[in-house]
Structures are given as C-alpha cells and as structure tokens.
Amino acid sequence: MLQKQLLIIALLYVFPVQAEEMERSTITTCAYQAGTAREIQLIRQSEGDDWSQFEQKIKQIYKDTPGRSDLLVIAKNVYLQPITTLPTEAYEKAFTACVSRIQGTEPSA
C-alpha cells in the first residue's frame, strides 16, 4: 500500500501538468501496466527469452483468462522493443502509451 502511494506521489511529481488533468484511476491503471512492463523487461534481460519462449511460459503458468491475455498484450509490446531497453524506459513507454489510450490521444496509424 505504501509503495503504491509513493509511486503515485512520484508520478505526480514527474508529470505535474499531466497529473492535474488525469483522473486517479488513470494514474493507478497506467502505473500498474507500466510496472508490469518494467518487470517483464527485467525478466527478459535476465532470462534471455525470445517472445515465443516467454509466451509459452506464461501460457503454462496461467489459465486462459482475461488477465493472462492482458499480460501477454503488455509483454508483446515490451518484446517489440530492443532487449537493451532499460526497464525504466519500458516503464515510461508503457505508462505514456496507456495514458494516451485512456485519454484517446493515441497517434493514428
């Protein structure tokens, strides 16, 4: 609980202008997704798995649920980045992308 509060405070400090405009639920949701992306990148760098290996491990560990699907979507985005991407960069990219999706400001393809 304390870690979540500290994370939210840190996000408010790092993104002061954006944070004023964001709802608390957006910050919480995006911080969770971004934290997951950071952890996936750490695992990826320590274990050296490619995408198919990681995907198979996740499918063996977790049942076919929306949670597993969400995890794989986050992981796929992490695996699209170079393996040398810093975990903090993976966090920042995932957080920014999440906020853009929620606020409907994603760049069009």
Rounded CA-CA distance 29/10 in Å is 15
Residues 6+ apart with CB under 8 A from 92: 34
Long-range contacts of 103-106 (CB under 8 A, 24+ apart): 103/22, 103/26
Domain ranges of the chain: 49-102
DSSP 8-state symbol, 1: -
Q: pTM of the full predicted structure?
A: 0.74
| Closest-CA residue to 80 (of 50, 45, 46) | 50
Rounded CA-CA distance 45/82 in Å is 10
**Cβ atoms 74, 40 nearer than 8 A:** yes
List the structure tokens of 96: 């920014």
Note the pLDDT of residue 77: 96
Print pLDDT tens along the chain (109 aa).
555 555 555 555 555 555 555 688 888 899 999 999 999 999 999 999 899 999 999 999 999 999 999 999 999 999 999 999 999 999 999 999 999 998 887 655 4
| Closest-CA residue to 95 (of 43, 19, 44) | 19
Is residue 53 within a helix (H) or strand (E), and if so which, with residue range? helix 51-61
